[in-house]
Structure 1
């Protein structure tokens, strides 16, 4: 199977050598800081790539949802998984117990007494003990206890419940002064309370650049680094040649001299922007940008380009956020030396429950 003839558009390709280089580089960064690597599979959602991460030295995997964990347990990738999401509701808790019986360690997070009580009740019925980390909001403004004292209090409350076992604290992202202050204060309070904290878990690919500033961390959860994208380039973590995931698209219209339209719209590139502008970069035309996307159309601004693509030309787009793109397709095409060497199912695609 050769690259030009066999891949229709729009489609997602990954460059194998870049994926391996990204895995090796970040494994070296994390291990060099004396920290265990627990990569997040939300970026690729593919067991074969997770195996590459484990083979490179990762101690286990991070999943966001139960259904993601189920896909990777089914694939037999590892027997040590952390789910970094509050699990709430009887149905989900029963699924958690079913999955935990299939692996050596399936840990979760909690940021309230209500979440812990739910886990405890079903774990007691099933005769299981579920390890958990207290999630801490260190400035991101999402889940997590709001103060170091609240983290200690939740761990103390867990000690009164059957079926749960406190193993540490977790936050996302690290890399900020606020996160460092929070974690330092929390660990001091845990020490005063006589509570051991075996795990201090941090995360975020851009924050890898500051990992040495967080000596209290014992494990690290990063995901985007495996592919990289426009956001990672903007953060300084990656260069263009580190971006392993590309959306292959065909120019289907040139309605004006400074505008092209490709067959990849929001249903594959997504509309995510975060802290970057536009909706993607064109590998073959560095001065072009994806200025807008509708469902099936990607609009390319060519105003800064001397050389411009023609109708029928195939281009490769680096998306803003590769994690969202992975969830838009059933399969990705693996390229090595310009040829397709594999087609990998995105096993955890749509695994959001």
Structure 2
């Protein structure tokens, strides 16, 4: 492996970012083709994911981010096994970026649902800077690793704990995101909240699956404000989920609200089915904050403009799917973990 140089890496990553923000014809063809491998990965969703990563890789942001860590240029790189999720396009890119940016070697076990995009992006990085050629490998089975970062379900995390518990590790489980509404939101803010709910069809851990609303909240204004997101119902897999959950609620006489492309149902749980948004009432912000503290291990981020003080990451309306480089999944500082290996 060639000697790691953080300044060169920042230049290379920022150049990659510029390519992703304005995809060329070759990359657009790959973006268009993804739907034939994964029906959820529509051209619009994949393009959104690609350009979001491009915007993340701004030179000044990379410098700000990496300046916080003690990244030793002379330290030999460790082999870090990465088990990537595949629920939304390029969801595992940030973990790969962290390993490469810390001068370590990424052993990448990609998801079968998202195996092509990450290879394409890394091939572009190598074309920009061939020093990355030997800094990553795609593998079918993890072996000969010094550390592991694994993302999966609550069920798979138990297996990860068993297999990787003896090496330094970050093991992620299921998380969901929640929105706290005060009733004072504008139509524009609620429309932006629609992006937090519907982008990537609600499949991401940063998608809002639950609302906290004040007593006597009027959902009519909420439904009116998100009406322009109604085209989502034309995606056949989303529509199948909508029809399935609607039929269950109707058969069981479960009380719910329905606008033709989203059902809203009162439920204490955080994780709602696709095409369904759960909600709970709260009396005051102190009560809402108490719920956030109790559920902090299950919350990825909170979408609100309310003045709250919580441990979880708080973002403005429309921003849940636009994390910064330093917005770490599960609030665990991946770069700190890697720089201390």
Coarse TM-score class (shorter-chain normalised): 0.3 to 0.5
Looking at secondary structure, tell me which structure has more helix per residue. 2
Give the alignment's TM-score, normalised by structure 2: 0.32
Looking at secondary structure, tell me which structure has more strand per residue. 1
Give the alignment's TM-score, normalised by structure 1: 0.32
- Name the larger-Rg structure: 1
Whose relative contact order is higher, 1 or 2, with alpha carbons under 8 Å and at least 6 apart?
A: 1
